[in-house]
Amino acid sequence: MAEYKIKDIEILTGIKAHTWRIWEKRYEILIPERTDTQIRTYTDAELSFLLNISLLNKSGYKISKIAKLSKKEIADLVWNIKVSTSLDNSGEKLILALINLDERSFRDTLNELIEAVGLEETFSNHLIPFLDRIGVMWLIGTITPAQEHFISNLIRQKVIAEIDKLPIPAASEPPIMLFLPEHEWHELGLLYYQFLLRGKGIHTVYLGQSLPYESTLDCIKRLNPKVILTSWLTSVDDDFMIKYFEQLKKDSGNIPIYAGGAQVNMKKDLIDGLITEIKHAKDLNTLF
């Protein structure tokens, strides 16, 4: 069972720690356990309860009214909100689905978002902030690998399904070749690149996760792509990244290399001149 601090609650609910302290004191919303050094700690069940309160508050319910409700009344109101189509509450809905491993709730929320605004806006304005929050939860150890894999795979399935709805562009010109290097398995960003490019009718060849370097070179020779596109999220040694892109630039015959992801962003100064950084997925709309 995870243990959350007040700062974790602030990040996950989007409500300031100072506000939660006032609510606890004034309305006795929840009286958390404290460590020997008087640090508040919260359980999974308490986090879920506070997420429900956050969801109600952001839906227009005043905290003074929420404080008078029973847990069942809170649950009933939250259920009504969860089955509504309000986009403003999507972050809380997704986090609750993660905590509870609730596939149906996650799928329904995602489908509502995509139906309302399309996958591009859903990914940029809803899923990326959600994934950032998951990243924080992962770093502080408050979600398990199973929970992270559960949600990542649900998102992956949905993005692939949306890509499959798009027509395959005619191979009238050399493709953009998309792949992840041999050490990299985090595919969501690259899949989203594929969706955006396919949506623009651009010829792409998607090679997926953990492509061995020799196979990468073989595909470059076979495809003669106009651009090589990759993404790096997994932490690697600085020298490894520099040498990888130096070698790829040399072996590919100076085909333009575009790269995104957290590692590229953090180490962009080290690989300046070797790649063109994709700072945001929307950059693809102007780059290609």
Per the structure, how many domains does the chain have?
Answer: 2
Of 169, 241, 165, 164, the C-alpha closest to 201 is 169
Cα-Cα-Cα-Cα dihedral of 216, 220, 226, 231, to 10°?
Answer: 0
| CATH number of the domain encompassing residue 248 | 3.40.50.280
Q: Which residue blocks in 200-280 are alpha helix, DSSP H?
A: 213-223, 238-251, 262-266
Around Cβ 144, how many Cβ atoms within 10 Å? 13
Same domain, 124 and 189: no
Rounded CA separation 67/26 (Å) = 10
Tens-place pLDDT, residues 183-242: 898 898 899 999 999 999 999 999 999 999 999 999 999 999 999 999 998 877 889 999
Domain final residue, candidates 144, 161, 178: 161
CA dist 109 → 84, 244, 259 (Å): 9, 40, 30
Residue range(s) defining the domain that contains residue 15: 4-161
Domain final residue, candidates 161, 178, 206: 161
Instruction: Tell whether the model's pLDDT for residue 8 goes beyond 80.
Output: no
Domain final residue, candidates 113, 130, 161: 161
Q: Which two tokens stand for residue 97?
A: 């689905």
Same domain, 96 and 211: no
Tens-place pLDDT, residues 17-72: 899 889 988 988 887 788 777 788 888 778 778 888 887 888 888 999 999 998 88
Tens-place pLDDT, residues 161-186: 999 999 999 888 899 999 999 989 88
